[in-house]
Chains A and B, each alone.
Chain A
Amino acid sequence: DTAVSQTPKYLVTQMGNDKSIKCEQNLGHDTMYWYKQDSKKFLKIMFSYNNKELIINETVPNRFSPKSPDKAHLNLHINSLELGDSAVYFCASSQGLARGTDTQYFGPGTRLTVL
């Protein structure tokens, strides 16, 4: 059983297109996240959702819109794709404990290439 799954694994598209990445977790967690890992392998948080409510939006362009239909899913929609959006996007989830012991579980990543 995959705890945190993402689809698609690879996504190649042209500049200006709109695309979505889906994420699902079967761990019963309350909090989900999106991270972006650029070509230099730097991993940066983009969004955090707790029980379908946005908690964190780390100065991400508004072309990026997360959507959480229920607490097991957090999808990432990207409008008007740009070359700089090329990266690996990771979804993660955690129990959402407001304590330092909260552990995050990551998905396998989606490699987005914008041509």
Chain B
Amino acid sequence: DAKTTQPNSMESNEEEPVHLPCNHSTISGTDYIHWYRQLPSQGPEYVIHGLTSNVNNRMASLAIAEDRKSSTLILHRATLRDAAVYYCILRVSNTGNQFYFGTGTSLTVIP
């Protein structure tokens, strides 16, 4: 399984940007980087994904390092509703459709 490494926890003040890092040094050229988050007592939900270029959507931005061995999920203005566990996942493109979740980063947003 392709492996990702994330900090166990992070804190952010409300309405400030949050940068959630992820290391994936074993990534191969066709592996996609996915981010999901899990709000308390809910199922995981999709946030964003990318391959090589930086990506933006209404929820977040994904910055991917040039060598693709790391990436950063950026929440531009954290709100209390963003408090969740954020999972960085490598989706290996030439295998089955499974995700292998790591331990994720628990984000606390301080009012």
Contacts and interface: CB of A to CB of B under 8 A. Distances in A.
Interface of A: 4, 31, 33, 41-45, 48, 50, 55-56, 58, 90, 92, 94, 96-109
B32 A101 contact: yes
A40 to B, nearest CB: 8
A100 B31 contact: yes
Contacts of B93: 98-100
Contacts of A48: 96-98
B21 interface: no
B85 A92 contact: no
Contacts of A41: 85, 103-104
Contacts of B38: 43
Given A55-B97, A56-B98, 9 more contacts: A43-B38, A43-B101, A45-B98, A55-B96, A56-B96, A90-B43, A94-B97, A101-B32, A104-B36
